[in-house]
Amino acid sequence: MSENINKLDILRAFGKMFAFQANASKILSLISKHIKRTTNHSVVNRMSASEPKMTTKSLHLTKGSSQPTFPDNENLRLYSMKYCPYAHRAHLVLDAKNIPYHTVFINLTEKPEWYQKVSALTKVPALELPEVKGDSLIESLIICDYIDEKYPQNQLNSKDSLEKARDRILVQRFETLTPVFGRFIYWKNEEEKNKIIEKLYAGLTIFETELKERNSKFFGGEKPKMLDYMIWPWFERFELLNFLLEQKFELNHFSKLSTWFDGMMKDEAVKKNFINIDDHYRFVKTRNYDNVAGCIEK
C-alpha cells in the first residue's frame, strides 16, 4: 500500500466495507479489549509517520556478525526472529513445557553468512540440538512436535492418534489463512480487499464452530494444548488491522473465540512471549530489526 494514500480515504473505504460485514468485527473488538493488558513489555504510543521507533529489545544477528558461542550446558538453541509468528510457535511450546533454552535472533533480510550451516533453508525457527553435533531441526511444526515427544512434561499433543490427527488438520486449515494477514496490509483495490476479508472471516467461523462443538474453553480442553499454541501467534497480531483502520468495532459475534482469546491472554507462555501491538506495527512498517551483533538470550 502506498505511503502517500490519504489516511482519511483509507478510513472511509474500510468503514464502507465493514458496514456490510456484520460477522467481521467482533474478533477485532475482542482483541482490542485485551491487547493493552499489562505485560512484561513496555506499552507505547502508536508510531508517527515521521519518527518510527522500536521499544521492544530485539537484537538480531546480521550479515557480518560472528557466530555466537554458548555456555557449556545442554540447553537447546533456538534460532528465531522476534516478530516471526512461526518462530513464535516454538517459543510458546518451549515455555509451556518449561524447557531451558538459548535464543539467537536472526535478521532475515541480511542473514549472517554462517546461518546456512545452522538452517539448511536459512529460515527460522531452527532448533540446534547440543547433544547432536552439527544437526538442527527446521520448520515450526516439526520442531514443536519433536519438543513435545522428547520432553514428556505437560504433553501438548493428544495421546489419542485420531484426536491428534484432527488437531493437525485444523492447524493445516489455519495455515491457509496465514497469508491473508500479509495480503491485507498490501491490498491493491476494493475488490481484492473484500475477497481477503471474506476469506479471513470465513476461516474464523470454522474455528468458532469448532470450539462450540468441543464445548471447551480451549481447543485442547481446560488448558491450552498444541493446536491453541500453533494458531495463537496470528491472533496476537490481529489488531494490526485496527492500526490500518484507526478505529474499533463493537459487534457481538465469535463469542467462543472471545472467551478463548481471554483465556490465552492469561496463559504463562503467552504472557512471557507477548509483544504489544505497537511494536508489531512498527516492525511491519519499518522492517527495523535493531541489528546488534552478539545477541544471545539465555
At 187 the pLDDT is 63
Give the active site residue among 84, 90, 126, 241: 84
Assess if residue 37 is contained within a domain: yes
Phi, psi of 103 (to 5 degrees): -115, 130
| Angle (CA) 25 31 34, round 5° | 140
Known catalytic residue: 144? no
pLDDT at 169 over 70: yes
Whether pLDDT at 282 is above 80: yes
Where do the DSSP E strands lie in the chain?
76-80, 101-105, 126-128, 136-138
Residue 2 CB partners (closer than 8 Å, separation 6+): none
Q: Report yes or no on 83 lying in a domain.
A: no
Which range marks the domain in which residue 275 is found?
A: 7-51+161-280
Q: Return the pLDDT at 13.
A: 38
Using one digit for the tens of pLDDT, what is the confidence trace for 52-87? 333 345 589 999 999 998 887 889 999 999 999 999
Q: Confirm whether 294 is domain-assigned.
A: no
Determine, yes or no, domain membership for 145.
no
- Identify which has the larger pLDDT, 221 or 291: 221
Average pLDDT score over the chain: 78
Classify residue 124: in a domain, yes or no.
no
C-alpha cell at 204: 474464523
Say whether pLDDT at 288 is over 60.
yes
Confidence category of residue 31, pLDDT binned at 50, 70, 90: very low
Distance CA 84, CA 137 (A): 17
For residue 166, tell me if it sits in a domain: yes
Task: Specify if 225 maps to a domain.
Answer: yes
| pLDDT confidence of residue 266 | 98
For residue 266, what is the domain's CATH number? 1.20.1050.10
Res 135: pLDDT? 78
User: In the structure, what pLDDT confidence band is assigned to residue 17 with cuts at 50, 70 and 90?
Assistant: very low
Which is higher by pLDDT, 95 or 188?
Answer: 95
What's this model's pTM, rounded to 2 decimal places?
A: 0.78
Domain contains 103: no
Q: Which three cell numbers stand for residue 22?
A: 456484520
Q: How many domains does the chain have?
A: 1
- Other Cβ atoms less than 10 A from the Cβ of 142: the count is 12
